[in-house]
DNA sequence: CGAACCATTGACCATGATCAATGATTGTGG
DNA sequence: CCACAATCATTGATCATGGTCAATGGTTCG
C-alpha cells in the first residue's frame, strides 16, 4: 500500500542474462538493466542527492534504500523505502526531487538516462515500461497520502508493518517474521510521527497480542487478520 | 506546491489550431487535444469513477475538477484539484485509481487512450510529453505528502491558498483576489482536516490581517510575504 | 569497558476532532 | 418575489491523540 513499484516484483523480470539470441530486438528495460555491472554501496552512501542533475535509472539487487527530502525546519520526510527488484530514477525531471541513501549495504545496477533515452526512441516497449513504472508509483504515492493523512498513529503503524511484510524478500520458513533493518527514527520519519509515538504504539500492538518484538529489530506478526483490520481503518474502538 | 501538472500552464500549449502545414509530422499531444471536440459537464457530473476501465486523456479548458477517493470509513480524500490547462488520465493503469468530478461547470477535450497509444508508437515526442506529465505529477504528489504530513492546520491552509492563487486563471486587475469555487468541505477533504478546523484557521488568518474574506467564497491576500512564510513552515511562534 | 546512540516509558501540554448551537447562503415551490 | 427548507459556515466547549521534555534502560561499536 505504501509507495513502491510493486509491479517490479522478482518474478516479473529476468534476473539472468538476456536471451538475446532468441529475440534480439525487443530488449526490455529490465533486460538491459540485468546486463549492467553491479555496484555496491555501504550503509549511508547516497545514490544521489536532492537537486542533482546527473541521473541514472537504478535497480536494487540487494539491500534497502530510502528516498527522503529534508524540510526547512530540519526534519526529514522519508518518501519511500525501496527493496530488491524496485526501480528508481525513472522520472525525467531536470533535477532529482529527493535524495536516495543506502540504509543497509546495497547492490544495484544502473543505466545512464542518456542510454535510456536513446533506447526509448528505438523501442516502444521500453517506453511503456517506464510509463507503467511511473503510473504505478503515482498510484502508490497517492495511496500513501490517504494513509498518512487520515489514519491514527496505530493504524499507520499497522499499515506500515503490513506493507513491509508484503514487500520483504520472504524467508520461506519464518512466514510471519519480519527483520526491521530500520531504526525507529526511520519509521517515524516515514509515517510523520515522533519516535516516542512509534515506540508507544509498537508497545500497544504487542500488548494486544497483534505482534511480538522478540528483539528490537525483529518483529513477528501474531494476528494478521487484526493487523489488516487496523491498517484498513476498520476497527471502531481501541 | 500541491499536486498538479504545473507544466501544462496556459502558455505552454497552442490553444488554436495546429499549424499542420508548417510541420505536419511532429504533432504534440497538446496539439492533438486542441483538435478534439469540446465537451461540457454540469457540476457534480463525473469524468470517470474509481475502478472504471474505460479511459481517456482529458484536458480541462474551463472550470474546476476534483480527483478523489472514498475511504472505508466513508470519508473522502481529495487527491487534487485540476484547473484549465491541466491534463488528467495520462497514467496507464488498468483501472482508474480515483474518481474525477466536475466541481463547477466544466469544458474539456478528450482523447481515447487507444488513439494516444497509437500515436505514441509513431511519435516519440508524444511519449515524452506523457512521461513529463507523469514525472511532474509524481513530484507534486510527493510534495503534497510533505505538506499534509508535517504541517499544522494553519500552515496547510496557507500553502493551499497560495497554491490555489498561483494556479488560478488570473484576473489581471484584482491581483490578490481569489474566487473559491470550493466549499469548506472540499478544502477539509483535501487537507485532511475537519470543516471546523478549516473555518477556525481561516478566521485566524483573517484576524492576523494575512487574508480577508469579504464574502464566503471570495478571498483576498493581504500579506503575501507572511502567507508564504507560514506555508513554508518558517514561522516559529503563533 | 565505556561512550555514543537507540529505544522505551512517563508526565504534561497543544493541536485538532467531536459534539452542539447559531448564523449565513442557496435553492425551490407557492 | 418571498418564504421556507436545506445546505453550508462559524463559533464555542470539551476531549483525545500525539508532540515535547525528561529520565532510564538497551545495543552497538571502537
Q: What is the pLDDT of residue A206?
A: 96
Closest Cα to residue A137, out of A171, A88, A104, A102?
A88
CA distance to partner chain B, nearest, from residue A91 (Å): 5
H helices of chain A, where?
A: 29-35, 113-122, 124-150, 153-167, 184-191, 195-207, 224-232
Q: To 10 degrees, the CA torsion angle through A76, A81, A87, A89?
A: 0
B contacts of A51 (beta carbons < 8 Å): none
B6-23 residue pLDDT tens: 333 333 334 444 444 454
Rg, Å, chain A Cα set: 19
* Distance measured from the CA of protein residue A153 to the C1' of nucleotide C14, in angstroms: 17
Q: What is the pLDDT of residue B172?
A: 61
Q: What is the pLDDT of residue B237?
A: 55
Q: How many Cβ atoms sit within 10 Å of the Cβ of residue A191? A: 23
Residue B139, CB, less than 7 Å from strand D?
A: no
pLDDT > 90? residue B225 = yes
Q: What is the pLDDT of residue A135?
A: 95
Residue A196, CB, less than 7 Å from strand C?
A: yes
In this structure, of A79-83, A177-181, B217-221, the range with the lowest mean pLDDT score is A177-181
For every residue of B177-233, DSSP letters joined together read: EEE--S-HHHHHHHHT--HHHHHHHHHHHHHTTSEEEEETTEEEES-HHHHHHHHHT
And the C-alpha cell for A116? Answer: 535510456
3-class DSSP assignment, residue B110: strand
Q: What is the pLDDT of residue A7?
A: 38
CA distance to partner chain B, nearest, from residue A41 (Å): 25
Closest Cα to residue A56, out of A66, A48, A64, A65?
A48
Whole-number Cα distances in Å, B215 to B25, B30, B179, B218: 50, 37, 10, 5
Q: What is the pLDDT of residue A23?
A: 47
**Mean pLDDT score, A84-99:** 91
Share of chain B above pLDDT 90, in %: 63
Distance from C-alpha of B55 to C-alpha of B1, rounded to nearest angstrom: 27
CB B4, CB B161: distance < 8 Å: no
Residue A43 at interface with chain B, using a CB cutoff of 8 Å: no
Whole-number Cα distances in Å, A22 to A91, A126, A138: 31, 18, 34
CB B124, CB A120: distance < 8 Å: yes
Residue B185, CB, less than 7 Å from strand D?
A: yes
Residue A124 at interface with chain B, using a CB cutoff of 8 Å: yes
Q: Which nucleotides of C are covered by protein (CB under 7 A)?
A: 6-11, 15-20, 24-26
Residue of B nearest to A156 (CA): B149
Closest CB to A142: pick one of B73, B141, B149: B141
CB contact (8 A) between residue A91 and residue B134: yes
Residue A154, CB, less than 7 Å from strand D?
A: yes
In terms of average pLDDT, the best of A88-92, A116-120, B110-114, B194-198 is B194-198
Q: Could you tell me which residue, B202 or B171, shows the higher pLDDT?
A: B202
Q: How many Cβ atoms sit within 10 Å of the Cβ of residue B192? A: 20
Q: How many Cβ atoms sit within 10 Å of the Cβ of residue A107? A: 14
Distance from C-alpha of B115 to C-alpha of A183, rounded to nearest angstrom: 48
And the C-alpha cell for B196? Answer: 471546523
Q: What integer best gives the mean pLDDT of chain B?
A: 86
For every residue of A13-44, DSSP letters joined together read: S--S---TTT--S---HHHHHHHSPEEEE-TT
CB contact (8 A) between residue A127 and residue B120: yes
Residue A222, CB, less than 7 Å from strand D?
A: no
Q: Could you tell me which residue, B17 or A59, shows the higher pLDDT?
A: A59
Helix (H) or strand (E) holding A70: strand A65-70
And the C-alpha cell for A109? Answer: 545496477
Long-range CB contacts for residues A162-166, cutoff 8 Å, separation at least 24: A162/A1, A162/A227, A162/A228, A162/A231, A163/A1, A163/A2, A163/A4, A164/A81, A165/A221
Q: What is the pLDDT of residue A219?
A: 94
Cα B120 versus chain centre, distance: 25
Cβ within 7 Å of strand C: which of B 67-126?
none
**Mean pLDDT score, B68-73:** 90
B contacts of A143 (beta carbons < 8 Å): 97
Distance from C-alpha of B206 to C-alpha of B221, rounded to nearest angstrom: 10
**Mean pLDDT score, A172-178:** 74
In this structure, of B28-32, B119-123, B206-210, the range with the lowest mean pLDDT score is B119-123
CA distance to partner chain B, nearest, from residue A119 (Å): 11
A contacts of B232 (beta carbons < 8 Å): 72
Residue of A nearest to B124 (CA): A121
Q: Please, which pLDDT band fits residue A52 given cuts at 50, 70 and 90? A: very high
Residue B196, CB, less than 7 Å from strand D?
A: yes
**Mean pLDDT score, B68-77:** 90
Distance from C-alpha of A204 to C-alpha of A153, rounded to nearest angstrom: 11
pLDDT > 50? residue A1 = no
Q: Which residues partner with A106 through β-bridges? A: A41
Helix (H) or strand (E) holding B114: helix B113-122
Residue A134 at interface with chain B, using a CB cutoff of 8 Å: yes
Residue B216, CB, less than 7 Å from strand C?
A: yes
Residue A217, CB, less than 7 Å from strand D?
A: yes
Q: How many Cβ atoms sit within 10 Å of the Cβ of residue B105? A: 13
Angle, vertex CA A5, rays to CA A211 and CA A143, nearest 5: 65
Residue A193, CB, less than 7 Å from strand D?
A: yes
Q: What is the pLDDT of residue A237?
A: 56
**Mean pLDDT score, B187-202:** 97
CB contact (8 A) between residue A93 and residue B135: yes
In this structure, of A218-232, B160-174, B196-210, the range with the lowest mean pLDDT score is B160-174
CB contact (8 A) between residue B77 and residue A234: no
In terms of average pLDDT, the best of A108-122, A163-177, B15-29 is A108-122
B130-180 residue pLDDT tens: 999 999 999 999 999 999 999 999 999 999 999 999 988 776 666 788 888
B3 burial (CB, 10 Å; 0-12 / 13-18 / 19+) is buried
Q: What is the pLDDT of residue B54?
A: 84
Distance from C-alpha of A48 to C-alpha of A56, rounded to nearest angstrom: 9
Residue of A nearest to B149 (CA): A192
Closest CB to B131: pick one of A73, A92, A146: A92
And the C-alpha cell for A64? Answer: 534497502
A30-50 residue pLDDT tens: 999 999 999 999 999 999 999
Residue B134 at interface with chain A, using a CB cutoff of 8 Å: yes
Region for residue B85 given its phi and psi (left: phi exceeds 0; alpha: psi -120 to 50; beta: otherwise)? left
Distance from C-alpha of A85 to C-alpha of B32, rounded to nearest angstrom: 37
Q: What is the pLDDT of residue B25?
A: 55
Q: Could you tell me which residue, B26 or A33, shows the higher pLDDT?
A: A33
Amino acid at each position: 500500500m505504501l509507495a513502491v513499484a510493486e509491479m517490479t516484483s522478482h518474478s516479473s523480470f529476468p534476473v539472468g542474462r538476456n536471451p538475446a539470441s532468441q529475440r534480439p530486438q525487443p530488449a526490455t528495460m529490465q533486460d538491459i538493466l540485468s546486463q549492467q555491472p553491479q555496484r555496491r554501496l555501504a550503509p549511508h552512501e547516497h545514490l544521489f542527492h536532492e537537486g542533482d542533475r546527473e541521473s541514472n535509472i537504478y535497480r536494487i539487487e540487494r539491500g534497502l534504500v530510502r528516498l527522503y527530502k529534508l524540510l526547512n525546519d530540519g526534519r526529514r520526510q522519508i518518501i519511500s523505502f525501496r527493496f530488491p527488484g524496485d526501480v528508481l530514477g525513472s522520472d525525467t525531471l531536470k533535477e532529482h526531487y529527493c535524495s536516495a541513501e543506502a540504509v543497509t549495504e546495497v547492490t544495484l545496477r544502473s543505466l545512464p538516462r542518456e542510454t535510456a533515452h536513446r533506447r526509448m526512441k528505438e523501442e516502444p516497449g521500453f517506453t511503456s515500461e517506464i510509463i507503467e513504472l511511473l503510473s504505478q508509483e503515482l498510484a502508490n504515492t497517492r495511496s500513501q497520502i490517504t494513509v498518512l493523512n487520515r489514519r491514527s498513529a496505530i493504524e499507520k503503524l499497522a499499515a506500515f508493518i503490513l506493507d513491509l511484510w508484503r514487500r520483504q524478500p520472504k524467508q520461506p520458513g519464518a512466514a510471519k517474521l519480519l527483520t526491521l533493518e530500520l531504526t525507529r527514527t526511520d519509521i517515524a520519519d516515514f509515517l510523520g510521527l515522533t519516535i516516542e509515538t512509534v515506540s508507544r504504539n509498537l508497545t500497544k500492538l504487542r500488548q494486544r497480542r497483534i505482534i511480538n518484538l522478540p528483539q528490537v529489530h525483529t518483529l513477528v506478526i501474531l494476528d494478521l487478520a487484526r493487523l489488516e483490520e487496523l491498517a484498513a481503518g476498520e476497527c471502531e474502538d481501541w
